[in-house]
Structure 1
């Protein structure tokens, strides 16, 4: 029976009920969101999903999964697949796991062998988050001899592997790959020859490679922005180049701010028509730029619309939400800035040390402290602290939310909390 005939046979009441159900189903599917890369769809760290609690206990978790070794990467989620990395030993064995997000059951794991390597005391050999488009998943692992970008299909079959060459850094590898249309893009800003490379996501063929100025390693993950007055832009951050815009189709540089005075760890974020990026060192941010992305060439004197040099995070990436910039400091000092006036609305202390980045879920900002406590505040010009929930395991990983589930990654575990609990 075709759909038109079926509808005609329904009574008016049944047609009304069916319409309501279909509308509700459509709205529900619109609310559900995948989380394909570090800090969500566009790297903003913002989700409109609802129903997550401000208080919960261990009994409320849908599941808890023990992961071997150590990892600070965030999961990536698409539909029925969750991807997360981990490493054992001194980095000689790296893993990519595919889990069922509903149950935590392992679907498959793939192992990559590399050389033993050093890392920062707060780092891991699995700090780069996978990226997925729902058809393939891409993961990056690096040591001093190799920088591997590997593509798998959803069954775990390796599709291709490319080696970008040795990766030289003081603290190890941290930047995550991203996807743009038919490209997967990886940055290699290091203590040596540096570049940004775009590969065909199906074949691994190099489509373009942009050489970069070199200095100390950058750990920032790039973003793609879509400003109404420009073509799409690939935004990359490093100490040597500062903030730079590239054409994601060709790798050609559109504009740059020139070098930052310090290293870059946190990633750029875009909101309210501005790109926000910063540099720092010694556990604190030292300089933040808010950049109008419509310029060309060197824009340092013309398109930097906001600067800040105090009470800045070093590692955590900011949040831009409803006209305000939220700066979550490594030392637990959080500031709210009204962007229209550039006025600092409030600065408050939530305590703890933070190496993860905050995310905003339906107007609540969640951030996991290094000792494994989930701190929550309102994303609002009026400060409101909702307390902390202990995870009983340290964490340097960023909260993930996808399709009605929140995922909290610690050093050795992955916790899943369903909306509505």
Structure 2
């Protein structure tokens, strides 16, 4: 198949018009339709010395997810002298440093199914933002949670292309060399946003450092300076761009001047920009192609909102948020699932929004439904990792404690909410295929779980590394990015 044919398929898949299994490419955060699904048979067993096709050392520090097109892998990173590395322990199993993040619970929300809560639901730990985009929150390396000034060090923001078969570096490009304009958290990096590829061009967003476009040989095509804005407590940026086949969408929620904007993929021209009544959030926009229309859905600490892709006009908004949002929504042709963690480290509400919703769809009073909301589950939203919709069920991972929840996607009935034995904190978003759910924790453990109404762990695979980046899947290859290296897993 020629490059142009692959490009057409990739654009369609990225916009949600093709199933994930239609191509082997993994062109954006969470794959072809941004859902984490790959119906082909996936690797299920690996370890430090088992089923590792290759692994390569990577320069700098980054939590951006790799993207794949054809025989090439594309990554981003930020490099400086005496490189500080992200610190582990933020989402540990019931102890250690604070976890959580996202917006708070909505009083009066129903809980379909009436399932019991897992332990520690009432654990009031300080909130912090998270990696719904396959990346962590921000706030000053070495500066802890208190923020602080940007480091007095020169960073080099790079784009790297690897050979998919061997991991060999094919080319690298220096996007920018400068001192950072904002600080980041000790768990974050200056390259936590996942790029996008459409078969002809690569689109790279480095948060407050700019938006860049390259051809597949690394030649610069255009770039945009979108400004620099302070983030909550100096935690840094982390929202990845989204793509509908024609336009690049950037959600930049911050402490000064929040906005969402659309850019022409060929020229970088700004097509529209809408101000947002939000402060810092880390959720990636989701291109939701449903049975009524295509829309751009954004998570928020004040409201969840949907926009018209062509004009930026507001389609609907959903209140109930009281803190911050880090996880990215997911949906099918009928329902969208959106929610976040609670402001004190627990879980906020989880909503199922109907296709074709209009205006203010916030449930009133103690109701958990409205004209635009099919169901609500209180205290069930995803704090960090984005939810997974697979074979009629919705799966939600807690950032701490190793807890997995499973809901009926149509009704919101809770099938289970249980700890995965031995699991630590979850920041990397789950993926699925071949009837299995894959959950990668911070400590490098991937739990292979049978899809269904009961929690059944089929295997546990361990790599000695720290993982916050989300996985990339390409044919029978699984790509996992740790702190210092990229692993290619192949049976």
- If the TM-score is normalised by the length of the shorter chain, which range does it land in? 0.7 to 0.9
Describe the shift of the 1:388–1:258 C-alpha distance in structure 2 as closer, same or farther (beyond 3 A).
same
Preserved contact between residue 397 and residue 410 of structure 1 (Cα < 8 Å): yes
Distance 1:204 1:65 in 2: 33
Aligned partner of 1:167 in structure 2 is 229
Structure 1 stretches of at least 4 aligned residues deviating more than 3 Å after TM superposition: 29-32, 54-57, 281-284
Q: Provide the aligned C-alpha RMSD in A.
A: 1.9
Aligned partner of 2:268 in structure 1 is 204
Distance 2:378 2:191 in 1: 31
Describe the shift of the 1:51–1:340 C-alpha distance in structure 2 as closer, same or farther (beyond 3 A).
closer
Describe the shift of the 1:321–1:181 C-alpha distance in structure 2 as closer, same or farther (beyond 3 A).
same
Aligned partner of 1:81 in structure 2 is 72
Instruction: Tell me which protein shows more strand as a share of its residues.
Output: 1
Q: TM-score, normalised by structure 2?
A: 0.75
SS of 2:210's equivalent in the other structure is strand
Distance 2:30 2:191 in 1: 16
SS of 2:159's equivalent in the other structure is strand
Q: Give the Å deviation of 1:121.
A: 2.7
- Choose from 81, 87, 98 the match for 2:161: 98
| 1:330 aligns to 2:399 (yes or no) | yes
| 1:342 aligns to 2:412 (yes or no) | yes
Structure 1 segment 149-228 matched on structure 2, within 5 A: 149-170=211-232, 171-215=235-279, 217-228=280-291
Aligned partner of 1:264 in structure 2 is 325
Counting matched residue pairs gives 385
SS of 2:483's equivalent in the other structure is coil
Point out the structure with max Rg over C-alpha.
1
Q: Give the Å deviation of 1:346.
A: 1.6
Distance 2:373 2:194 in 1: 30
Query: Gaps spanning 5+ residues in structure 1: where?
Result: 1-28
Q: TM-score, normalised by structure 1?
A: 0.87
Distance 2:167 2:457 in 1: 31
Distance 2:340 2:358 in 1: 22
| 1:233 aligns to 2:295 (yes or no) | yes
Q: Give the Å deviation of 1:260.
A: 1.5
SS of 2:257's equivalent in the other structure is strand
Q: Give the Å deviation of 1:136.
A: 0.5
Structure 1 segment 15-54 matched on structure 2, within 5 A: 32-54=23-45
SS of 1:220's equivalent in the other structure is coil
SS of 2:278's equivalent in the other structure is coil
Q: Give the Å deviation of 1:355.
A: 1.3
- Choose from 367, 377, 387 the match for 1:308: 377
Q: Give the Å deviation of 1:371.
A: 1.5
Greater length-normalized contact order (CA 8 Å, ≥ 6 residues apart):
2
Distance 1:312 1:236 in 2: 15
Preserved contact between residue 284 and residue 313 of structure 1 (Cα < 8 Å): no
Distance 2:236 2:48 in 1: 35
- Choose from 381, 389, 395 the match for 1:320: 389
Distance 1:199 1:234 in 2: 13
| 1:118 aligns to 2:183 (yes or no) | yes
Query: Gaps spanning 5+ residues in structure 2: where?
Result: 1-19, 81-150, 364-369
Describe the shift of the 1:306–1:114 C-alpha distance in structure 2 as closer, same or farther (beyond 3 A).
farther
Distance 2:485 2:165 in 1: 16
Q: Give the Å deviation of 1:330.
A: 1.2
Distance 2:78 2:217 in 1: 21
Distance 1:123 1:30 in 2: 32
Deviates more, 1:180-189 or 1:123-132: 180-189
Q: Give the Å deviation of 1:308.
A: 2.1
Aligned partner of 1:274 in structure 2 is 335
Distance 2:359 2:381 in 1: 27
Preserved contact between residue 21 and residue 38 of structure 2 (Cα < 8 Å): no
